[in-house]
Structure 1
Amino acid sequence: MEKPDHEKMNKSFSSETDEKPPRGLLRMLFQHADWKDVVLMGLGTCGCFIDGLSVSAMMLVLSRLMNGYASVSSLTPADVNQISIYFAVFLAFVYIAIVVGSGAFLEGFCWGRTAERQSTRIRTKYLKAILRQQVGYFDTTLEASRVTTSISIDTLNIQGILSEKIPNFITNMWMFIAAEITGLYICWRLAIVAVPAMIVLRKQLSINEEKLQEAYAVAGGIAEQALSSIKTVHSGKNGEAVFNRARTDPDSRYQTRSTERDGVWEHGNIYAMWALLSWYGSVLVIHNGIKGGDILSAGVCVVYGGFGLASSFMNIKYFAEASISAAIISEMIDRIPAIDSSDQHGTTISPVKGELEFKDTRELSSENFNLKVKACQTIGLVGRSGSGKSTVINLLERFYDPLEGEILLDGINIQSLG
């Protein structure tokens, strides 16, 4: 027998069950979640909604408080006792703090707990799926480094998404929706003016972020090239040249320029938007009789709602990374190997005599291999290196299946054994 070529050997695996398309992240969440995890995710989502309502609730109470401050100057001595009404506003802030704090606790605890439970369950299932695969799969398809990467990095990506990114996305998106609705409710005229300005600001910031990411990619590429050939760089005394290249590269220099420019641009636009809201708010107060507290609260709602929308979109790239990790892990967990070590179905021999027979077995050699071993018989396989001695043992242990022929144990094909 010749030494087996594992690439050819694994052609026999083509009869395996067709691989299913990889599942996405959302299906991954519920695929490995039990009823406790569903309850935890439900409570955590409720906590996200409560946490996202904090800005809207505070601005509703603040508008009442600011309007109350403005009306104090018009009170007569007989109406001074009515000032005690505004103590209810302070109590409202206390109640908001308690409710929002409870919601934030539910958000962090429930999502963190279910992330830990599900990631542990995923690691266990992934390890079991790895151990049930045939040896030929690791020879040609899956490298050992991929196994350690998936069981550590990929599961950590999923755990990070569950514990932090998903609740952060829900909270900020709900804060945006609730804040914009509250701003429209308090003063719809001001909200309509503020929303387009916020969209322009967010658009410019996203463009700057894309340029900054490109600049970091260029600088990272220069650094990676230098570090991968550090001996060459050091022996040739090219360290200064690499440093100058990174410093003078147009894309890399964008990092330094963008730090100052983006800071001025971002904060300048924020203050410019507040100036616009202040000016238009004064117009509404003078000509439409809108109260000052409503102007302030509506403006804060729109601005902070825009920040919430931007913060929620920052998590989308992490969702894409976690979806890839979830697809890789799901593909392995769902894969049914041709030689399934966990399959309990099949023929059972009782009692086992121990008679072995290789009947017209051909692996990769041009000749069929035949061998009969009686029970309790001791034999020795002799041959030159690479003649296939170890292949006989591998076939007997079902690390691989022969291309032709069969291996019999007490007259029964070992492929039919459970």
Structure 2
Amino acid sequence: MSKHRKEASTKKASNGSFRSLFMHADNADMFLMAVGLISAICDGLGTPPVMLVFTNKMMNSIGGSSSVSADVYTDKINKNAVRLCYLAVGKWVACFLEGYCWSRTSERQASRLRLTYLKAVLRQEVAYFDLNVTSTADIISGISSDSLIIQEFISEKVPTLVMNGATFVGSYIMSFVLLWRLAIVGFPFIILLVIPGLVFGRILMRLSREIREEYNKADTVAQQAFSSVRTVYSFVGEKKTIKDYSDALDGTVKLGLKQGLAKGLAIGSKGVTFAVWAFLCWYGSRLVMYHGARGGTVWSVGALITFGGLAFGSGMTNVKYLSDAMAASKRIREVIKRVPVIDSENMEGEILQEVWGEVEFKNVKFAYPSRPESMVFEDFNLKVPAGKTVALVGGSGSGKSTVIALLQRFYDPRGGEICVDGVRIDKLQLKWLRSQMGLVSQEPALFDTTIKENILFGKEDATMEEVTEAAKASNAHNFISQLPQAYDTQVLFPSFRINDSFVCISLLLCR
């Protein structure tokens, strides 16, 4: 068991590939991502690189207004103003396409990912859950949390990362084109603009992760209380539950105060831009005096260097989201690609033309995968003739439920054979084998849908007449008919009470 746990933790720690984030993209998603990518690049290049180029020309025109006629000056200002208007319209279109395309494709891909992941989880054998899943919350977390991480990265972080990258590259290219002397001097200051953002970004990420873990502890307390609310009420444990929940939230308060301090320092660290501006203004003034530079050009290059550095710092903070998204995609992909040992989707195997129902266990040896050292059966033998009713009697843990689990091939024995009508069950088609059996467990469960839909789980293509007949056969038709909406009544736990006979209805549909 420890070996499996180590393997699971090793897999969980490693990251997947960037390509795996888009493993559920189809041709339509490829088109949306291509349009969104181009739009994000245009968004990043539009502001500030291209805008500051037009601003540079406008400011130089204003600065040189005394040396040209009024008509020429007005014409230059109008042309630059029109260009800025065109830029504004182009920027609006690019931002709209960027937001729409990435949001749309992320929803499409995440929807398919959740469906595929759920199908893959339901396909796994029971032993997989014994070894790799500690609670149902782990499965829900895989479906919701991991998919949300990927969806958020695709919809928000990818376009933001591309936009910031385009802004950084475009800003520094434009700064070198406009005034390379000032650009060379200002380029090293990118370190002052990037490092504070990276440092505080990592701190905030760590604090966010710790806060999320603390909230998970509080969520666990709430989930346990709500799932066993009758037990809580019966033992008058309301105050204790509230106290436990309050104590679980104490850690989030302390971490929240640290997060607030870190956010304040991160925002305050942006004040270093004023120091960078001061130096660029001083050096730019010397370029104006001794090298014939224009004032508008100096201002534009200074703004390009500053905004480009800030964009680079903002983009680097999204690298952490990339790492989280790739790790989430790897966890999901491992489950999706895993072929279970007992595969319910495998259509190979024999199908008996006629089933008599003779069951035989021959020298069966078995131990649960989670407890391999504790043998449940050692040379277990049992023969149930066809048409006979047999009761297995024994103390708790004697193996009564294990017999049924082995017969339904939830697990495979370590040794020996289990036969139905003389044929080993591992040679039979698994779907067909399970379709020949009906099981009423000790704790019947219903899905959050109508009574009719719950009954149809026994036979999805059954008619309403068959549903009614099955309900009558299980002696449940009368009380179902007395409900406000009869078979269309919504099943809502824990307010809806049900007995074992109702669960038998769906089993009768299989016959």
Equivalent of 1:342 in 330, 342, 345: 345
Equivalent of 1:60 in 53, 57, 61: 53
For 1:277 and 1:59, the matched residues in 2 are separated by: 16
Partner of 2:329: 326
Indicate if the aligned counterparts of 1:23 and 1:330 stay in contact, CA closer than 8 A: no
Cα deviations by residue, 1:203-230 (Å, 9 ceiling, x for unpaired): 24544555677899999999999xx9x9
Equivalent of 1:203 in 195, 203, 207: 195
For 1:297 and 1:346, the matched residues in 2 are separated by: 74
Indicate if the aligned counterparts of 1:215 and 1:255 stay in contact, CA closer than 8 A: no
Confirm or deny that 1:121 pairs with 2:121: no
Indicate if the aligned counterparts of 1:132 and 1:337 stay in contact, CA closer than 8 A: yes
Equivalent of 2:416 in 395, 405, 409: 405
Partner of 1:166: 158
- Structure 1 counterpart of 2:98, which letter? E
TM-aligned CA distance change 1:400 to 1:254, over 3 Å: closer
Question: For structure 1, which segment, 125-134 or 192-201, has the greater mean C-alpha deviation from structure 2 after superposition?
Answer: 192-201
Determine helix, strand or coil for the equivalent of 2:355.
Answer: coil
Alpha-carbon shift at residue 333 of structure 1 (Å) = 1.3
Cα deviations by residue, 1:12-67 (Å, 9 ceiling, x for unpaired): xxxxxxx9997725232232111111111111111111101111110111111111
Confirm or deny that 1:133 pairs with 2:135: no
Indicate if the aligned counterparts of 2:58 and 2:76 stay in contact, CA closer than 8 A: no
TM-aligned CA distance change 1:33 to 1:217, over 3 Å: closer
Indicate if the aligned counterparts of 1:216 and 1:255 stay in contact, CA closer than 8 A: no
Determine helix, strand or coil for the equivalent of 1:53.
Answer: helix
How many residues end up aligned between the 2 structures? 390
- Structure 2 counterpart of 1:319, which letter? L
Partner of 2:405: 394
Partner of 1:415: 426
Equivalent of 2:385 in 355, 362, 374: 374
Indicate if the aligned counterparts of 1:41 and 1:114 stay in contact, CA closer than 8 A: yes
- Structure 2 counterpart of 1:317, which letter? K
User: What does residue range 68-147 of structure 1 map to in structure 2 within 5 Å?
Assistant: 68-76=61-69, 80-81=71-72, 83-143=74-134, 144-147=136-139
Partner of 2:293: 290
For 1:207 and 1:74, the matched residues in 2 are separated by: 49
Partner of 2:171: 179
For 1:343 and 1:365, the matched residues in 2 are separated by: 28
Give the TM-score normalised by structure 1.
Answer: 0.81
Alpha-carbon shift at residue 272 of structure 1 (Å) = 2.0
For 1:331 and 1:416, the matched residues in 2 are separated by: 28
Alpha-carbon shift at residue 286 of structure 1 (Å) = 1.6
Determine helix, strand or coil for the equivalent of 1:407.
Answer: strand
- Structure 2 counterpart of 1:413, which letter? R
Determine helix, strand or coil for the equivalent of 2:389.
Answer: coil
For 2:214 and 2:394, the matched residues in 1 are separated by: 54
Alpha-carbon shift at residue 290 of structure 1 (Å) = 1.4
For 1:120 and 1:223, the matched residues in 2 are separated by: 26
Q: Identity over aligned residues, as a percent?
A: 37
Larger RCO (CA under 8 A, 6+ residues apart): 1
Determine helix, strand or coil for the equivalent of 2:403.
Answer: helix
Equivalent of 2:30 in 25, 38, 47: 38
Equivalent of 1:149 in 131, 134, 141: 141
Confirm or deny that 1:310 pairs with 2:280: no
For 1:214 and 1:377, the matched residues in 2 are separated by: 63
Determine helix, strand or coil for the equivalent of 2:189.
Answer: helix
Indicate if the aligned counterparts of 1:22 and 1:328 stay in contact, CA closer than 8 A: no
Alpha-carbon shift at residue 68 of structure 1 (Å) = 1.4
Indicate if the aligned counterparts of 1:126 and 1:332 stay in contact, CA closer than 8 A: yes
Determine helix, strand or coil for the equivalent of 2:381.
Answer: strand
TM-aligned CA distance change 1:140 to 1:254, over 3 Å: closer
- Structure 2 counterpart of 1:165, which letter? K
Indicate if the aligned counterparts of 1:358 and 1:372 stay in contact, CA closer than 8 A: yes
Partner of 2:362: 359
- Structure 2 counterpart of 1:296, which letter? W
TM-aligned CA distance change 1:260 to 1:367, over 3 Å: closer
Indicate if the aligned counterparts of 1:22 and 1:331 stay in contact, CA closer than 8 A: no
For 2:132 and 2:328, the matched residues in 1 are separated by: 17
Partner of 1:28: 20
For 1:194 and 1:111, the matched residues in 2 are separated by: 34
Alpha-carbon shift at residue 305 of structure 1 (Å) = 0.5
Cα deviations by residue, 1:93-112 (Å, 9 ceiling, x for unpaired): 11111111111111111111
Cα deviations by residue, 1:255-299 (Å, 9 ceiling, x for unpaired): 76x7777666542x3222212111211111121111222111111
TM-aligned CA distance change 1:298 to 1:76, over 3 Å: same
TM-aligned CA distance change 1:115 to 1:417, over 3 Å: same
Determine helix, strand or coil for the equivalent of 2:350.
Answer: coil
5+ residue gaps in structure 2? 5-10, 221-238, 244-249, 367-374, 430-511
- Structure 2 counterpart of 1:154, which letter? D
TM-aligned CA distance change 1:20 to 1:348, over 3 Å: farther
Indicate if the aligned counterparts of 1:22 and 1:330 stay in contact, CA closer than 8 A: no
For 2:212 and 2:143, the matched residues in 1 are separated by: 27
Determine helix, strand or coil for the equivalent of 2:67.
Answer: coil
- Structure 2 counterpart of 1:168, which letter? T
5+ residue gaps in structure 1? 1-6, 12-18, 235-241
- Structure 2 counterpart of 1:202, which letter? V
RMSD: 3.9
Determine helix, strand or coil for the equivalent of 1:149.
Answer: helix
For 2:292 and 2:417, the matched residues in 1 are separated by: 94
Partner of 1:239: none
